[in-house]
């Protein structure tokens, strides 16, 4: 109860402070009333979604859209108060100068300047419009990102071999069958040799996948479709009546993947052969740092795999690569991960600049990284969770071509 009182108090302090810009720019009473009505209604919805109905960390569509609208309204207000606070420092400084600088008027606080408030509102309009666009269009703005990676010891028969990677479908968040169908078709259009899915098929429950099962069943590749589990697939973030219900949910998710024609790798590996050569495809269960489930077992998955084999590892959380995989002397040539979503928000200028707040949590958060002669690709995700949209970090279909490095004499 105390934390809610503190939260509501801070919320209204920010609200009233940001309102000064609106009040300076416009004297319209209906606009002033609209400002506070929207703020109060949004706060009420936000509190209801967190305290009423579904409990725990389960992300339902209504909870996500409430959170998205909250961000859309609240983040611009934070930008406004930055400008207002800066102006108030100057106003207070002028007041002190008038008091101690010999002015006969004593302490004089200048009125707010309409020019500053107009700039503040204009700047705040940028994240407001971006977050709205992210919910309306950005979440299905699929992008195909292509990479070519060279290896000295790639088996000759796999020179030119192509992999399509998708990750973090989060089917419980989808709300547009036409857009999802387009995304699935886009995956198949790449005509890759194999399709690899690196975890988080659902948000919480296996049933979330049922409306989308027919679409993802259409995924096809010459060497098949393989998958691993992500942290959300285990159903850990909701309360189950019994442990048996939770166990049955996980089994149902496994069965759904089998029915779609996917091969789920549970701390195991398979061989992909071509013209007498082979590569080892290894799939581990979720292993994540910082309190996430650590069910991944490299030792079990690599039983029978030699150090000289060419290896592709599927592991949902990139922190696994950072903490366990990249320095493993078995030399995992390429690791494929997801999990971060690129936070679904950031700025990317291909080949020039890449930033998202998630970089302060994950060292490897989007795209290709190389260290110690090993590669990892962190897919930005196919779906969305939490904020029901994407801004700057778009849903991704990754295509990776394996190349045999030609050593020049």
pTM confidence score? 0.92
**For residue 340, is it within any domain?**
yes
Domain-located, residue 409? no
**pLDDT surpasses 70 at 172:** yes
Class of residue 305 by CB neighbours under 10 A (exposed 0-12, middle 13-18, buried 19+):
middle
Contact residues for 78 (Cβ-Cβ < 8 A; gap 6+) = 14, 18
- CA 395 to the chain's CA centroid: 9
Structural domain total, the chain: 2
Taking only the tens place, the pLDDT of each residue in 181-214 is: 999 999 999 999 999 999 999 999 999 999 999 9
Cα dihedral 349, 355, 358, 363, rounded to 10, equals 100
Q: What is the mean pLDDT of residues 219-243?
A: 96
- Domain final residue, candidates 110, 136, 162: 136
Together in a domain, 226 and 358: yes
Contact 94, 110 (CB under 8 A): yes
Its domain, for residue 185, covers 141-404
The whole-number pLDDT of residue 108 equals 61
Closest CA to 196 of 357, 37, 36, 402: 402
Question: Is 51 domain-assigned?
Answer: yes
Residues 300 and 357 in one domain: yes
Question: Are residues 176 and 119 both part of a single domain?
Answer: no
pLDDT digits (tens, 9 = 90+) for 245-264: 999 999 999 999 999 999 99
Examine the domain organization and report whether 126 and 167 are in the same domain.
no
Same domain, 84 and 185: no
300 lies in the same domain as 344: yes
> Each residue of 67-124: pLDDT tens digit?
999 999 999 999 999 998 888 888 877 777 676 665 656 666 667 888 899 999 999 9
* pLDDT computed for residue 29 by the predictor: 94
pLDDT at 106: 60
Do 245 and 381 fall within a single domain? yes
Domain co-membership, 386 together with 265:
yes
**Are 179 and 274 members of one domain?**
yes
- 154 with 108, same domain: the answer is no
Residue 169 — pLDDT band, cuts 50, 70, 90? very high
Residue 183 within a domain: yes
Residues 171, 94 within the same domain: no
**Model pLDDT for residues 368-405, shown as the tens digit of each residue:** 999 999 999 999 999 999 999 999 999 999 999 999 99
pLDDT at 104: 58
d(CA 99, CA 43): 41
The domain that contains 367 carries what CATH number?
Answer: 3.60.21.10
Asked if residue 308 and residue 276 are part of one domain, the reply reads yes
Statement: residue 408 has pLDDT above 60:
no
Q: Which of 68, 103, 136 is the last residue of a domain?
A: 136
pLDDT of residue 167: 98
- Domain end residue (candidates: 109, 136, 163): 136
Question: Does an H or E element contain 347, and which?
Answer: strand 347-349
Show Cβ contacts of residue 63 under 8 Å, excluding neighbours closer than 6 positions.
49, 50, 54
Residue 195 included in any domain: yes
318: nearest Cα among 373, 275, 379: 379
């Amino acid at each position: 109860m105390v934390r809610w009182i503190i939260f509501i108090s801070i919320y209204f302090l920010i609200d009233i402070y940001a309102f000064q810009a609106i009040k300076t720019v416009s004297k319209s009473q209906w606009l002033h009333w609209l400002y506070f009505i929207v703020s109060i209604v949004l706060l009420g919805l936000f509190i209801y979604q967190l305290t009423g109905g579904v409990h725990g960390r389960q992300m339902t569509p209504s909870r996500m859209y409430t959170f998205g609208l909250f961000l859309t309204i609240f983040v611009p207000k934070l930008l406004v108060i930055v400008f207002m606070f800066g102006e108030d420092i100057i106003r207070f400084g002028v007041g002190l100068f008038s008091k101690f600088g010999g002015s006969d008027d004593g302490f004089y606080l200048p009125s707010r300047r309409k020019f500053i408030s107009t700039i503040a509102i204009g700047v705040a309009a940028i994240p407001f419009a971006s977050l709205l666009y992210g919910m309306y269009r950005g979440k299905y703005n699929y992008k195909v990102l292509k990479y070519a990676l060279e290896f000295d010891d790639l088996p000759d028969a796999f020179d030119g071999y192509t992999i399509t990677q998708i990750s973090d479908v989060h089917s419980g968040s989808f709300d547009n069958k036409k857009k999802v169908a387009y995304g699935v078709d886009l995956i198949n259009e790449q005509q890759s040799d194999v399709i690899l899915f690196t975890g988080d098929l659902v948000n919480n429950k296996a049933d979330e996948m049922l409306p989308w099962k027919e679409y993802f069943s259409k995924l096809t590749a010459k060497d098949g479709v393989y998958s691993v589990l992500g942290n959300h697939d285990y159903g850990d973030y909701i309360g189950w009546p019994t442990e048996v219900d939770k166990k049955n949910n996980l089994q149902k998710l496994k069965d759904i993947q089998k029915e779609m024609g996917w091969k789920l790798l549970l701390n195991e590996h398979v061989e992909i052969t071509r013209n007498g050569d082979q590569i080892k495809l290894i799939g581990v269960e979720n292993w994540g740092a910082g309190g996430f489930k650590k069910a991944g077992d490299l030792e079990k998955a690599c039983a029978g795999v030699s150090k000289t084999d060419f290896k592709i590892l599927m592991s949902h959380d990139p922190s696994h690569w950072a903490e366990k995989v990249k320095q493993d002397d078995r030399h995992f040539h390429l690791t494929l991960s997801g999990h971060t979503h690129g936070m679904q928000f950031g700025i990317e200028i291909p080949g020039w600049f890449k930033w998202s707040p998630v970089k302060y949590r994950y060292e490897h958060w989007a795209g290709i990284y190389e260290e110690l002669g090993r590669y990892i690709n962190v897919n930005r995700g196919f779906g969305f969770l939490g904020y029901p949209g994407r801004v700057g970090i778009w849903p991704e279909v990754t295509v990776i071509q394996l190349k045999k490095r030609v050593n020049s004499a």
